[in-house]
Amino acid sequence: MMRTPALRLSLVLLLVAAVPSAADDHPLDPLSYQEIWRALEILHEAGHLDADTTFSQLTLREPAKDAVRAWREGDAVPRAAYALVRKGKESFETTVDLVAGEVASWEQLTGAQPNWSLPEFGAAVDKVLEHPDFIAGLEKRGITDYTFLDCSTIPPGYFGTEEEQGRRLGHVRCSEPREARNSWARQVEGLTALVDVDSGEVLKVVDDGVAPVPAADADFDRTTLENPRDIPGPFKVDRPEGVGFDLDGYQVSWQNWSFHLRPDQRTGLVVSLVNYRESPEAEPRSVMYQGHLSEIYVPYMDPAFAWYARNFIDAGEFSAGGLVGPLLPGRDCPDHAVYLDSTHTNAKGRPGTVPGTTCIYERETGDPSWRHYTEEQPDSRASRDLVIRSGAVVGNYDYLLDWIFRQDGSIEARVGATGILEVKATSTPSAIQPVPAAGPIGATAADAVRAGTRADAHGRFLDQNVLGVNHDHYFSYRLDLDVDGTGNRFVADRLVTRELPEGHPRRSLWVQESHPAQTEKDAQLDIDLERPALWRILSSSRTNGVGYPTSYQLMPGRNARHLFTDDDYSLRRAGFIENHLWVTPYDPDERYAAGDHPTLSEPGMGLPAWTKADRSISDEDVVLWHTVGMHHLPRAEDWPVMPVMWHGFELRPFDFFDRNPALDLP
């Protein structure tokens, strides 16, 4: 393959946004536009494509970890594509060797369904609009003219019923977006058609009860809101000596950090080969082989037919068109940010460029990295961060996905939830309503909520006839930490109360009790404030200056734990939410926490299945999986567009260095 000269940062800055042209520079680079076409041509030559063949996925097949770790600039670059190909009702997984120019494997997918493809969002809609029950339901709601009706088909999960067996089912629902820029509130509520997506057959129409299409104005665009807040002038960041990071293809170096970035259609962004070099002369030390968002899960809390099945496994089910979209310069990221584009494939496998899906920028935080004040020696050092950001768009919700690199050796990953709440139209206009007349004497508002008799039993009113339905958000991060190499072990350092002997003025204090995990079950842990523990990954081979194993700590941020019962399919299909932490031995085929193919999936896929064998994780190459959860009880301030709510965690050096690594800040 032709090697193109590395694109230097100065050029990137001139162009403002640019795709690195050196697509074959590194084994972990995403497939280039040309490589995607090459994969299609190879599949075509092998007789696997015809006019009706569609693609659920077509993306980089990563080379083996050993090969990537051993790879040095100038070495041959192994390149392969993975595709999930659909032919009628059958699906096939294939690996295409782009160097040898041949199909390396072609296997039928059994026991699972491929992810939703873009054309399927319109599946069976025409037939639904001709179905007498659906027509009657629309008429009950005063809708007889379908000119402006928007209907779409989405996967309804799986609940083990007879009618779900062996079928690719969809739920069709409609909205009436007329005259609204923000049309998420204009739902035709309570009317759902269950369809067979493959045959286009309408299986049944379910009417939960009539509610008017809300008339509430939920627009928030610049023309609707005419008078922006008056704040003085532009805020300028001046970099007279240039930017502080270097971008070479998809490889980034900033101060002592270096890593590789890959825009990814399914998970947004993959950060790989994260190394820290203590000085320009020192050998780079490995911190993490790879980190990325593995899955997003959003279950809703309303029992109505139109709502109970809204259990969206967003990355695995819905990423067909690409999880991320363009970032808006100067707003989503600062003016001085540098942007990377993504190449996504469509349902025909054809490549297309999505501009500016990742931004990279350096920021002065306004906070000191450290300080100490004495009159004789006042000292403090200003801190800077390097921020890598992408923005996922999943229907009504937007998520900002950040990796933040710090000068003190820590890395923060965070996810910001924003966008529009998924709302339900109600026949009751607002929260002002009497206690139910049929309720028992002394019935309280809480009783009415428990009995489901209040209009807002399963959500909260945001506007007239508009209810934000209660729900959760869960994010699973796959963190293949390699702390000073691949030989690592997991230790939970519990802080436990120690009572002191009779006669001591203090009665108690806490001490550290280290619990090294031997197998996967030892490391399935939850955040528990009453039983605090530090979660650390230790090197099996290297110690620091005072003799402790070098390590990194996974430090959770704000989080939530699920409230499902054990027999609920809402829990069992996304079993990764059962624990805040899982640790597994490295396996290149274990990447997605709810399984490779969670669309309409049966229970138990992904982490619960892999960890059943309770494999050894002691002195192995291990992978951490961290679940970040959020219960979302909608509030007025989340409407009509939600202020960004951040959740996340930190990877913090813990005895990795001998001293504060930021002592040398200027």
Q: What are phi and psi of 69, to 5 degrees?
A: -65, -30
Q: Which stretch binds Cu ion (CB under 5 A): 443-451, 519-527, 603-611, 632-640?
A: 632-640
Quote the least distance from Cβ 417 to Cu ion, whole Å.
6
User: Residue type for 130, please?
Assistant: E
Judged by CB under 5 A, the chain residues 490 through 529 that form the site for Cu ion are none
Beta carbon nearer to Cu ion, 417 or 425 = 417
Could you give the count of Cα atoms lying within 13 Å of 196 in the half-sphere of its Cβ? 12
Number of residues that bind Cu ion (CB under 5 A): 1
Beta carbon nearer to Cu ion, 18 or 298 = 298
Q: Which stretch binds Cu ion (CB under 5 A): 281-289, 342-350, 549-557, 631-639?
A: 631-639
Quote the least distance from Cβ 577 to Cu ion, whole Å.
15
Cα 367 vs. chain centroid, distance in angstroms? 28
Quote the least distance from Cβ 422 to Cu ion, whole Å.
8
Q: Are strands 411-419 and 423-425 parallel, antiparallel or unpaired?
A: unpaired
∠ CA 34-37-42, rounded to 5°? 125
Q: How many CB atoms lie within 10 A of CB 236?
A: 7
Q: Are strands 191-196 and 169-175 parallel, antiparallel or unpaired?
A: antiparallel
Q: Write out 592-629 in H/E/C secondary structure.
A: CCCCCCCCCCCCCCCHHHHHHHCCECCCECEEEEEEEE
Q: Write out 289-333 in H/E/C secondary structure.
A: EEEEEEEEEEEECCCCHHHHCCEEEHHHHHHHHCCEECCCECCCE
Quote the least distance from Cβ 633 to Cu ion, whole Å.
9
Instruction: Identify the active-site residue in 24, 314, 456, 484.
Output: 314
Beta carbon nearer to Cu ion, 49 or 642 = 642
Quote the least distance from Cβ 506 to Cu ion, whole Å.
46
Q: Which stretch binds Cu ion (CB under 5 A): 506-514, 517-525, 605-613, 627-635?
A: 627-635
Peptide bond into 640 cis (omega under 30): yes
For residue 561, give the 3-state DSSP assignment. Answer: coil
Beta carbon nearer to Cu ion, 141 or 458 = 458
Quote the least distance from Cβ 626 to Cu ion, whole Å.
19
Beta carbon nearer to Cu ion, 205 or 306 = 306
Beta carbon nearer to Cu ion, 22 or 394 = 394
User: Residue type for 117, please?
Assistant: S
Q: Enumerate residues 6+ apart whose C-beta is below 8 A from 398.
A: 391, 392, 417, 418, 419
Could you give the count of Cα atoms lying within 13 Å of 305 in the half-sphere of its Cβ? 16
Closest by CA to 510, choosing from 538, 536, 535, 533, is 533
Binding letters toward Cu ion, positions 354-383, x by CB under 5 A: ------------------------------
User: Is 536 a binder of Cu ion (CB under 5 A)?
Assistant: no
Beta carbon nearer to Cu ion, 338 or 421 = 421
* Nearest position to Cu ion, beta carbon: 632
Quote the least distance from Cβ 568 to Cu ion, whole Å.
19
Beta carbon nearer to Cu ion, 562 or 632 = 632
Instruction: Identify whether 477 is a catalytic site residue.
Output: no
In our burial notation (b when 16+ CB lie closer than 10 A, e otherwise), range 171-205 reads bbbbbbbeebebbbbbbbbbbbbbbbbeeeebeeb
User: Is 458 a binder of Cu ion (CB under 5 A)?
Assistant: no
Instruction: Identify the active-site residue in 297, 339, 397, 592.
Output: 397
Structure tokens that stand for 223 in this block: 């023309």
Cα 444 vs. chain centroid, distance in angstroms? 39
Q: Which stretch binds Cu ion (CB under 5 A): 97-105, 428-436, 577-585, 628-636?
A: 628-636
Instruction: Identify whether 397 is a catalytic site residue.
Output: yes
Quote the least distance from Cβ 564 to Cu ion, whole Å.
17
Judged by CB under 5 A, the chain residues 181 through 200 that form the site for Cu ion are none
User: Is 632 a binder of Cu ion (CB under 5 A)?
Assistant: yes
Could you give the count of Cα atoms lying within 13 Å of 516 in the half-sphere of its Cβ? 13
Can you give the binding site for Cu ion, defined by CB under 5 A? 632
- Which residues are known catalytic residues? 314, 397
